Amino acid sequence: GAGVSQSPSNKVTEKGKDVELRCDPISGHTALYWYRQRLGQGLEFLIYFQGNSAPDKSGLPSDRFSAERTGESVSTLTIQRTQQEDSAVYLCASSSYLYTDTQYFGPGTRLTVL
């Protein structure tokens, strides 16, 4: 079956602009996660959704970052007034239930802020 998909695959934007990153999880997966990976580094947890609610937003770097999920499906990560330090690969993952460390990752969106 289809895996996790993300769009766009690459995004280049100017400093100060807003960007929206999209994630389509595996159908039927109730849990969805966003991570950030800077070049050559490990992953940073940003936020997770259980259904449409986001109980843990502790990883969001600043109030410029927000995320939503609708219909227990698609999720959007929005970064307002982008800064150069936001440049990274943003990865989305999903799992069939929340309390599992077996997550299925998408290919990521590479964001470059000029």
Partner 1 sequence: LAKTTQPISMDSYEGQEVNITCSHNNIATNDYITWYQQFPSQGPRFIIQGYKTKVTNEVASLFIPADRKSSTLSLPRVSLSDTAVYYCLVGDRDSSYKLIFGSGTRLLVRP
Q: How far is the CB of 42 from partner 1 (least distance, A)?
A: 4
Binding residues for partner 1 (CB under 8 A):
4, 31, 33, 35, 40-43, 45, 48, 56, 59, 91-93, 95, 98-108
Q: Between residues 43 and 74, which has the closer beta carbon with respect to partner 1? A: 43
Q: How far is the CB of 103 from partner 1 (least distance, A)?
A: 6
Q: How far is the CB of 98 from partner 1 (least distance, A)?
A: 5
Q: How far is the CB of 81 from partner 1 (least distance, A)?
A: 26
Look at the chain and count its residues: 114
Burial of 62 (0-12, 13-18, 19+ CB in 10 A): exposed
Looking at the DSSP bridge assignments, the partners of residue 76 are 22, 68
Q: Between residues 59 and 74, which has the closer beta carbon with respect to partner 1? A: 59
Contacts of 92 (CB under 8 A, 6+ apart): 4, 6, 21, 23, 25, 32, 33, 34, 35, 75, 77, 105, 106, 108
